[in-house]
């Protein structure tokens, strides 16, 4: 009797431990084509429009930083209206179409949160970047939190202390922050997010500033949504050129350029290492993405597997 109740307790402990963890083989029997379906759709979307790879990577980041990687960012309204997201996040229709395909293959099996996490990885790979293994078994939230999105997502006017305040409590080191910022080796930003940098800052390459000003006028309200590549040198190659840009004062956002202060900054050595050693960047980026993808997932019987990513069941 004592020994059977002990094994029951042991069993419950094991079950709890298993449910709190993601597994790389989660869909192997329940939906064996899940990973290849996502990869094929992401590759096609990125081939059609390179920027989509950037947009899908950013969606995963903005999901995970707000109540964990639970697809809360995909619920209509809510977080989508937060300042860092509104008229900025994109890629929802690609995720919706992957979800629709997976629903026909394996009904209510693959979560939207897992689709986002795998799509982010496949996007980076499609643009020539490193790969990593994505743990699976996340479940989808039934709630989203706009106020939390506003406070948890870092603003482009952030300095290093602001970045450390945003990333540190979630378990990211300064090396992780510098590596993750390397995501800005792809994708675009709107004039309103780099205007102050063009007109108020002196640590910007003058040739770059001149060319960007042509499409981003000083006056607020004019050209606010005009786009420029975050990496002006190789905009759609997932490489380490972001860091050589920083060393020549070609970071687009204030929050990018603060990572390199010309030799005296806290992150300067990390930037220099990633600029001269592409393999060091690749491995630091991959391990920081694994950390990001593991931020407080819902598992076991928590949350739900949504039927449609934009609304709760
Ligand atoms: C370090 C703090 C960060 C700040 C302050 C920041 C801020 C921004 C801003 C303001 C934009 C442009 C949005 C627009 O103008 O519509 C942007 C774009 C982007 N961000 Fe970040 N970001 C940060 C970190 C990250 C991380 C960790 C990732 C992913 C790992 C990421 C991936 C991207 C990508 C790929 C784009 C381009 C999206 C597209 O073209 O659709 N960012 N970010
Ligand atoms: C950066 O941190 C300072 C000090 O806490 C704060 O006043 C400021 O609003 C923060 N800026 C951003 C962009 O988060
Ligand atoms: C940047 O310059 C604009 C005018 O061009 C001004 O309105 C704004 O307050 C300045 N911002 C900072 C951070 O100095």
H-assigned helices in 85-130 = 92-105, 112-126
Cβ–ligand 3 distance for 157 under 6 Å, the answer no
1 Cα: distance to centroid of ligand 3 (angstroms)? 74
Active-site entry in 62, 195, 291, 306: 62
Strands 188-190 and 227-229: antiparallel
Q: Is 72 annotated as a binding residue?
A: yes
Q: Does this chain's domain 22-153 share its CATH topology with 160-290?
A: no
Ligand 2 shell residues, CB under 6 Å = 155, 157-158, 161-162
Tokens of 186: 């792809």
Contact yes or no for 99/112 (Cβ under 8 A): yes
192 lines ligand 1 (CB under 6 A): no
Q: Does the CB atom of residue 156 touch ligand 1 within 6 A? A: yes
Tokens of 54: 């950037």
pLDDT computed for residue 8 by the predictor: 41
CA 204 to chain centre: 26
Distance (Å, whole) CA 144 – CA 80: 9
pLDDT value of position 299? 98
User: How is the chain split into domains, by residue range?
Assistant: 22-153, 160-290
52 C-alpha to ligand 3 centroid (Å): 32
Nearest CA-CA partner of 181 in 159, 196, 202:
159
Contacts (Cβ under 8 Å, ≥6 apart) of 152: 65, 66, 166
Q: Residue 263's pLDDT is what?
A: 85
Pick the closest to residue 27 from 130, 92, 96, 115 (CA basis): 115
Structure tokens at 74: 């995909």
* 262 annotated binding-site participant: no
Residue 156 DSSP SS3 = coil
Q: Which of 81, 119, 78, 117 is nearest to 98 (CA)?
A: 119
**CA gap 234, 50 in Å, rounded:** 12
Phi first, then psi, for residue 95 (nearest 5°) are -65, -45
- How many angstroms is it from 55 CA to the middle of ligand 1? 9
The closest of 151, 185, 146 to 170, measured between CA atoms, is 151
CB 61 within 8 A of CB 149: no
**Helix orientation angle between 268-276 and 174-181, rounded to the nearest 10 degrees:** 50
Closest residue (by CA) to atom 8 of ligand 3? 196
pLDDT at 182: 99
Atom 12 of ligand 2, residue of closest alpha carbon: 158
Q: Is residue 238 classed as helix, strand or coil in its secondary structure?
A: coil
Question: What CATH class does 22-153 carry?
Answer: mainly alpha
CA 101 to chain centre: 23
Q: pLDDT 10s digit of each residue in the chain, 313 long?
A: 344 444 444 444 444 343 358 999 999 999 999 999 999 999 999 999 999 999 999 999 999 999 999 999 999 999 999 999 999 999 999 999 999 999 999 999 999 999 999 999 999 999 999 999 999 999 999 999 999 999 999 999 999 999 999 999 999 999 999 999 999 999 999 999 999 999 999 999 999 999 999 999 999 999 999 999 999 999 999 999 999 999 999 999 999 999 999 988 999 999 999 999 999 999 999 999 999 999 999 999 999 999 999 999 9
DSSP class of residue 134 equals: P
Per the CB < 8 A criterion, the answer to whether 124 and 59 are in contact is no
* Fold of the domain spanning 160-290: Peroxidase; domain 2 (1.10.420)
Predicted structure pTM score: 0.94
Per DSSP, helices labelled H in 153-263 are: 160-167, 174-181, 195-200, 206-213, 241-247, 254-257
Burial 136-145 (b: 16+ CB within 10 A, else e): bbbbbbeebb
220 belongs to an annotated ligand binding site = no
| pLDDT at residue 20 in the model | 58
The label of the residue with tokens 């960007």 reads 212
pLDDT, position 21 = 87
Is the shortest distance between the CB of 181 and ligand 1 below 6 Å?
yes
Instruction: Report residue 147 as tokens.
Output: 């106020």
Distance of CA 65 to the CA centre of its chain: 9
Whether 215 and 228 have beta carbons less than 8 Å apart is answered as: yes
Q: Is 60 a catalytic residue?
A: no
Does the annotation list 231 as a binding residue?
yes
Query: 220 in ligand 3 pocket by Cβ < 6 Å?
Result: no
């Amino acid at each position: 009797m004592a020994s059977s109740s002990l094994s029951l307790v042991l069993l419950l402990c094991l079950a709890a431990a298993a449910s709190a963890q993601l597994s790389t083989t989660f869909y192997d029997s329940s939906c064996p084509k899940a990973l290849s379906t996502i990869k094929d759709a992401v590759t096609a979307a990125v081939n059609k429009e390179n920027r989509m790879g950037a947009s899908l990577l950013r969606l995963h980041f903005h999901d995970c930083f707000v109540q964990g990687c639970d697809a809360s960012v995909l619920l209509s309204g809510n977080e989508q209206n937060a300042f860092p997201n509104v008229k900025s996040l994109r890629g929802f229709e690609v995720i919706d179409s992957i979800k629709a395909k997976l629903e026909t293959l394996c009904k209510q099996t693959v979560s939207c949160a897992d689709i986002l996490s795998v799509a982010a990885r496949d996007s980076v790979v499609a643009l020539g970047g490193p790969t990593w293994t994505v743990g699976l078994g996340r479940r989808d939230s039934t709630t989203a939190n706009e106020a939390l999105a506003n406070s948890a997502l870092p603003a482009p006017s952030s300095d290093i202390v602001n970045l450390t305040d945003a990333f540190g409590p979630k378990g990211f080191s300064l090396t992780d922050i510098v590596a993750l910022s390397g995501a800005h080796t792809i994708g675009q930003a709107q004039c309103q997010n780099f205007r102050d940098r063009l007109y108020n800052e002196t640590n910007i390459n003058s040739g770059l500033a001149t060319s960007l000003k042509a499409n981003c006028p000083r006056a607020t309200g004019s050209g606010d949504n005009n786009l420029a590549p975050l990496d002006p040198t190789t905009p759609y190659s997932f490489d380490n050129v972001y860091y050589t840009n920083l060393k020549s004062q070609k970071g687009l956002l204030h929050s990018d350029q603060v990572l390199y202060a010309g030799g005296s900054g806290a992150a300067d050595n990390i930037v220099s290492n990633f600029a001269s050693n592409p393999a060091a960047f690749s491995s630091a980026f991959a391990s920081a993405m694994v950390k990001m993808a593991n931020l407080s997932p819902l598992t076991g019987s928590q949350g739900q597997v949504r039927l449609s990513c934009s609304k709760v069941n």
